[in-house]
Amino acid sequence: MKNKQIIGLVVAGAVFIVTGVTSVLTNTLSANTLAEDVTTMLAGELEFDPPADDYIGVVNVVGTIQEQTQSSVLDTSSGYQHNTTMDYIDSLMDDSDNKGILLYVDSPGGAVYESEELHDKLIEYKETTGRPIWTYMAHYAASGGYMTSVTGDKIYANKNTVTGSIGVIMSGYDMSGLYEKLGIRYVSITSGVNKDSSKLTDEQVAIYQSQVDECYQEFVNIVADGRDMSADQVKALADGRTYTAKQAKANGLIDDIATYQDVMNQMASEFGVDEFYTPSSEESILAAIFSKAEKLVPKSEAQILKETAEEKESGVLMYYAEQLQ
């Protein structure tokens, strides 16, 4: 075989290999891009696309403060979304054009874990950036909602806001009588006398009360730090009761009563920033369809009973205003 033929074969082979590798890489990148686009289209996501100039980031805490509720592309996002909110605050911290947070709270509270985590994330934002947080309370800013609110350097409430409810609750229903009537027998095999608390003993009540008391003390300390009050001053107000906006102002729990627009105007004037940014999110197409379809399917009595038991017997520690349900 002549040298020219050998060289030609080598070149042809090299071109074939390069073409094959390029084709594989192109197909892989195209598939990944398509998958991301389809996921975004189906599931929807919070898009962080802030203004190019200085702006105030609006952080909405609306609904019960709890775990992220959307678990798949077929679920609808509703109410407060914890992970999404935490990521959003991180994005604000990393953006030098962000000049502060306007915290919009319309919540009766929620789980101890998520309420404290959100509070701590907002404190981290202030300490890391040195930027201000102003709070506006809408319908409710109670219990865990109030804990979130005290991160604000200034706290404003609507004249019809219900706030306060500083305290902790752990609740559930004893449904053993109903189960017995329906012929359902509960059985458990445990490693210790306090592993199963389906029928509370005095010792178990004392155990859970100690946990409630510990969380309560933490709540008191957070309010004391946020409102520049002593722990004793907070405890005098923290028996679980709610307060009107006027009562809250008189007791030092808020700074003033105003409308949301008034607060925006005051914040814009004080910091010289006119732009207020709220990230947009698109609901999942499939989630919207399946959600509507699910509502059309009637639930059996057994399903209703099961869902009620799961909801009411959770025994989770809550910073929650039970009376606002």
Selection from 161, 217, 66, 78 nearest residue 149 by Cα: 161
Residue 309 exposed, middle or buried by CB count within 10 Å (0-12, 13-18, 19+): middle
Q: DSSP code of 56?
A: E
Distances (CA, A) of 306 to 100, 175, 179, 235, 317: 45, 11, 11, 38, 21
Residue 48 exposed, middle or buried by CB count within 10 Å (0-12, 13-18, 19+): middle
Which run of H or E residues covers position 111?
Answer: strand 109-111
Q: How, if at all, do strands 46-47 and 280-281 pair?
A: antiparallel
Question: In whole angstroms, what is the distance from residue 265 CA to residue 298 CA?
Answer: 48
Residues belonging to the active site: 143, 195
Residue 86: CB atoms within 10 Å: 17
Q: DSSP code of 249?
A: H
Residues 319 and 147 sit within 8 Å (Cβ to Cβ): yes
CA atoms within 13 A on the CB side of 282: 12
Residue 85: CB atoms within 10 Å: 22
Name the percent of the chain in helix, strand, coil, to the closest 5.
50, 15, 35
